């Protein structure tokens, strides 16, 4: 079952978010700490008119979510850039024991519907370059690489 998060879901979202950040920390401990977004952040995203947690449940248990937000490019004020209003997926997480059962695709489909209802033309997300399973999943559901972010330690 799919639904939008409510305030009563904050603790469950926090637990899933913690699982996600543990994985991210294992992939890139130089960038991520193994702690979740604070509950106040989760609450603000639930209450915002520009964002939602899309929840997927199995037997009344939250097994995954996608955090999506409507964004406007900060470059819209510059003539050199095309005006861009888009959806951004902050996070998409499915509990390990529920992966490869279609829940991730269902969340992407619902995120796409969410964006279309707001008349947005694209969805963006970030994925770590060494998160091979996530990259393969996003490739399977139609995401394309369009920009590469580089970093150099100093």
Closest CA to 105 of 66, 69, 71, 144: 66
pLDDT at position 33 is 83
Give the model confidence (pLDDT) of 125-146 as tens digits: 999 999 999 999 999 999 999 8
Q: Which domain holds residue 83?
A: 2-140
Supply the CATH number for residue 83's domain.
3.40.630.30
Please report whether residue 152 resides in a domain.
no
pLDDT at position 76 is 64
Please report whether residue 72 resides in a domain.
yes
Please report whether residue 150 resides in a domain.
no
Mean pLDDT of all residues in the chain? Answer: 92
Please report whether residue 75 resides in a domain.
yes
Give the model confidence (pLDDT) of 32-48 as tens digits: 888 888 899 999 999 99
Q: Six-digit token pair at 93?
A: 């997480």
Please report whether residue 147 resides in a domain.
no
The total of structural domains in the chain comes to 1
DSSP 126: -
DSSP H or E segment with residue 47: helix 39-47
Closest CA to 53 of 98, 91, 100, 97: 91
Please report whether residue 154 resides in a domain.
no
Q: How far is CA 49 from the centre of its chain?
A: 17
Give the model confidence (pLDDT) of 83-95 as tens digits: 789 999 999 999 9
Please report whether residue 148 resides in a domain.
no
Please report whether residue 134 resides in a domain.
yes
Alpha-carbon distance of 72 to 126, in angstroms, equals: 16
Alpha-carbon distance of 13 to 16, in angstroms, equals: 5
DSSP 54: E
């Amino acid at each position: 079952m799919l639904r939008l998060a409510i305030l009563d879901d904050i603790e469950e979202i926090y637990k899933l978010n913690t699982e996600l950040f543990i994985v991210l920390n294992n992939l890139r401990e130089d960038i991520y700490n193994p702690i979740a977004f604070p509950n106040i952040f989760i609450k603000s995203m639930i209450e915002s008119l520009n964002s939602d947690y899309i929840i997927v449940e199995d037997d009344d248990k939250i097994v995954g979510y996608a955090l999506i937000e409507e964004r406007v490019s900060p470059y819209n004020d510059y003539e050199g850039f095309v005006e861009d209003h888009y959806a951004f997926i902050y996070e998409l997480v499915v509990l390990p024991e529920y992966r490869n059962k279609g829940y991730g695709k269902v969340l992407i489909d619902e995120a796409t519907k969410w964006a279309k209802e707001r008349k947005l033309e694209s969805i963006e997300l970030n994925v770590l370059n060494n998160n091979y399973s996530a990259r393969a999943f996003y490739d399977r559901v139609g995401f394309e690489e369009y920009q590469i972010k580089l970093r150099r330690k100093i």
